[in-house]
Each structure stands twice: as C-alpha cells, then as structure tokens.
A and B are shown apart, each in its own frame.
Chain A
Amino acid sequence: MGEFLRRIRLPLLFAGLLLLTLILMLSDRSEAPGQGTGESWLPNALLEVAAPIQGALSRPVDWLGETWARYVALVELHDENAELRERIAGLEEENLQFREALVAGGQLQRIAQMREGFEVPLLPAQVVGQDVSSWFHAILLDRGRQSGVLSGMPVVSDLGLAGVVSATTPGAARAMLLLDRRSAADAIVQRSRARGIVRGTGTGELEFVFQVRGDDVVPGDVVISSGVGGVYPRGLRLGTVAEVQAERSELLHTARVEPAVDFGRLEQVFVLLRRGPTMDLLYGGDGDLPAPAAPDAEVSSR
C-alpha cells in the first residue's frame, strides 16, 4: 500500500494542482465578469507584499528618468518654452472669450452648480507595477482600502480615463486598464454625439464600435465617456479616432482609436473615490465612501 501510494504521489500532485487551478479559475470568473474582487486572503497578502517592494524598486528608476529629463535632455528646451508660452497666451485668450460668452448667456452659475453636484473626490496614487503578461493590461497602485479605494472605482490620469480598480488590499490596488480586452466603456464622439462602445483590443489601441448614421465619425474626432452604463462618469477623454474602418455591409462600424492616456508612461493616476451604480450592484455595498485613513488620504477635489 505504501509503495503504491509513493508511486502515485506525483501523478496525484500533478492532477491535484491542475484541478486546483481549474477551480480557482472558475470561481474567479464567477465573482465578477473578468475581474477578481481580491477578497481572498492569499492573493491579498501577495499583492500587499509585492506593492511596497515594487514601489521601492521603481523609485530609483523614477529618479534616474527624472534626472535625465531635468538635467540631461534639455536640447530644444528653449524652442519648446517659446512655443508653450505662445500656446498659453492663445489659451488664455480663448478662455477669456469662453468665460465672456458664458457670463453673457447666464450659464456660469448653472455650470458651477452642476460641478458641485458632480464633485468626486480624487485620490492620487502612484503606479508601482505593471502587468507583464502579453495579453492582459493591468497596473499596481500604492493605495488601497485604507485610503478608501474599492473595486469598481474609475482610475483617471491627467490626460483621460485610464481604467477601473479590479482588486484591492488594505495598502495596494490593481487596476484593469482601458486597453485590456475585457474593458469596455460607453462613449460618445464629442463633435457629433455619435454613440458607441470603446473597447480594449489588447494591442495598445482602442476600438470604437458605433452604429452607422451617415458620416458622423471621422478621423480626428475626440471620443469621451458618455456616463451611460454606470461605470465611468460622463465627459472623461478616452481617445482620438485614428481611422474609420469601412464595413459598409454591416450596421455597426468600427473605428481605431488612439488612447488619450499614454499607458506606457503611466506614473501617477487618480482614483475617483466614488463608483458608479453598476459597479455598486456588481461588487455589493451601498456606494458610500469608506472613511479614508487620516494621514494617508491626500484627497483632492475636482
């Protein structure tokens, strides 16, 4: 009996591990469509350990990059400076004209009221790690549940929408990027208000699937989130249409969209500390913000 058990020990271990991985995959898939909630202790512990190490490792590289950018790569700085000054002057002029127009239309007060209603606290977070698998796109953030971050909260950068938090631990969080094949956001074209879905293709670009109604999507159009779907707030920049693919026989057309966010160079992002109703339903909870830990939460408001 002992000899028999020793002989089947390896096949048993092999089969047991395969079965375990299969069960884990099935349970992870059923937790949320494409996203783990990160509630089990072992993945949490691993994330919790990995985040500070990755943060510590990324600091010297950050420092090197910053030093290079500040002190070494100063070629053409003078020209760039002049160009930027010119642009600022232009933008100030444009801003003034807009304000004048808004005041004239009596809209300024209404917009201020609307912003108050829409106000979402933003939590700055550092990107300390990135997914290195070829097929999926995720980042590791140095803020977690202690700072009020919950699964399902949108993640933005100064350039636009970056993704959504997919797992959290007390001190870290993992966010699935918009580039990931499982990502999708209801979107509109800012110019023509054509509506569709922006999806990650996994290749570093986005795909905008829209219903054909004349030529209402052209290259150069800016695509923003529509707010429909209850995941992302309205008005976040997603990208710019690079090419409309001609599939005239179909009702739905697709366009290639260049992301607004440079995902390869994400260093700091902001977590919107309020998740949409769909994510609330998906992950449970009443949507109230958990109290952020006092010293840790540098919350800014938009």
Chain B
Amino acid sequence: MRKAAAVLTIGLLALVVEGALAPWLPIRFVPDASLLATVAAALVLGPAEGLVAAAVFGFSADVLSGTLLGQQAMLRVLELSITRVFASQLDLGRGLPLTIFVAFLSVADGALLVMQSRFFLDLSFHWAEASRLLVRALVTGVFATPASSLARAIADRLEESQARREMRLDTKRPAL
C-alpha cells in the first residue's frame, strides 16, 4: 500500500512538473510522464494496484490536458496490461529492452489516441505530426530506464523499512 502511494505521488508530481515546464520546452522533447509512470507502476506494483494507479495517471493527464475525460485513462489501463504481459515474456528490467519497448508503446499510444479522437471527436490526423510523435516516442523511451529504476529503488527501500519494522516487533518477546 505504501509502495503504491509512493509511486502514485511521484507519478502525479512528474505530471505537474512536466506541465509547468512545457512552455519552455518543445513538446516533442518532453517525455510522456504519464506513460512512464504507468510503465513504472506495471513493473513495480501488483496487478490490481497497478491498474488503479494507471487509471489515476491517465485521468490526471486528461484533466491537465485538453483531451476528453477518460481518453488517456483508458489508454493507460490498456498500456499497463500490455506492459505486464510483455514483462512476463521479456526482461524489461534491463535498459535496452525497456527503452525499445517504451518507444514502441509510445508510438502505439499516439496511434490509439488518434483513433479515439477520430471516433469520439471526429478529428483528422495530419501526417506532418508523425515525425513529432516518433521523436517524442524516442525521448520517452530514453527516459524509461531512469524512471523505472527510480520507482524500483523507492519500492525496494519501502519494502526494506517495512521488513525492519516487523523485525523490531519481535524483540519484545520473552526469550525462550
């Protein structure tokens, strides 16, 4: 529970910081914080906690951006499930596979967002945007390893402190 709360807090903070810095950076060079947080949640948290965290990240991204409420939340839930499936087959703990996987996931995210927007909002897609999407996918991929490492380090530390607390409880028991 503490692990989930920590990952949620860091993910939400990353989203807010990203939004604050966005006016000074070209969007294509800004990694998708919500997607990175979702991947980290998939790798660190349990399935149920991860699903809820992914929905919260997507929902927050919807509120802070101009998308329909639920649009990115749906994608995050799907992406968390995809990440968990791939993590059971590939070693996503290593840098390169994770980078490549997240870059592909980011492209898929863009494509799905376009499809959703066409379906729900009747918006058209300009091919000129494809290059921007690819650059952003690469940047997001590069940031995937540090983001998941950070999440894993925090989770390990919390688990360790929890284990220590449980051990301390045993010290008051009378000696046998």
Contact = CB atoms under 8 A, between A and B. Distances in A.
A145 to B, nearest CB: 16
A283 interface: no
B153 interface: no
A53 interface: yes
A130 B19 contact: yes
Interface string B71-100: 111100110010000000000000000000
Interface in B113-160: 113-114, 116-117, 120-121, 123-124, 126, 128-129, 132-133, 136
A203 B73 contact: no
A176 B68 CA distance: 12
Scoring B62, B70, B77, B133 by chain A CB atoms within 10 A of each residue's CB, the highest score goes to B70
B16 interface: yes
Contact of B129 (A65, A134, A182): A134
A264 B68 CA distance: 23
A135 B114 contact: yes
A159 to B, nearest CB: 15
A58 B48 contact: no
Contact of A54 (B20, B65, B69, B81): B20
B66 A17 contact: no
Contacts of A55: 20
Interface string A193-223: 0000000011100000000000000000000
State the main secondary structure of chain B at its contact with A. helix
A133 B65 contact: yes
Contact of B74 (A21, A36, A65, A166): A21
A54 B110 CA distance: 25
A262 B128 CA distance: 20
B134 to A, nearest CB: 11
Given A46-B60, A132-B65, A202-B126, A61 B70 contact: no
A21 B69 CA distance: 8
Contacts of B102: none
Interface residues of A, number: 55
Contact of A25 (B33, B70, B129, B132): B70
B120 A129 contact: no
A127 interface: yes
A180 interface: yes
Contact of B20 (A61, A202, A266): A61
B66 A129 contact: no
B55 A53 contact: no
Contact of B77 (A17, A28, A46, A182): A17
Scoring A23, A50, A127, A136 by chain B CB atoms within 10 A of each residue's CB, the highest score goes to A136
Contacts of A46: 59-60, 63-64
A61 B71 contact: no
B80 to A, nearest CB: 9
B20 A58 contact: yes
A20 interface: yes
Contact of A133 (B20, B67, B74, B128): B67
Given A14-B81, A50-B63, 11 more contacts: A21-B55, A21-B77, A22-B74, A46-B60, A131-B65, A132-B22, A132-B30, A134-B110, A135-B113, A138-B65, A203-B129
Interface of B: 16-24, 26-28, 30, 32-33, 47-48, 51-52, 55, 58-74, 77-78, 81, 110, 113-114, 116-117, 120-121, 123-124, 126, 128-129, 132-133, 136
12 contacts: A10-B48, A24-B68, A25-B120, A61-B24, A129-B16, A129-B22, A131-B19, A133-B113, A135-B114, A136-B66, A140-B19, A202-B123
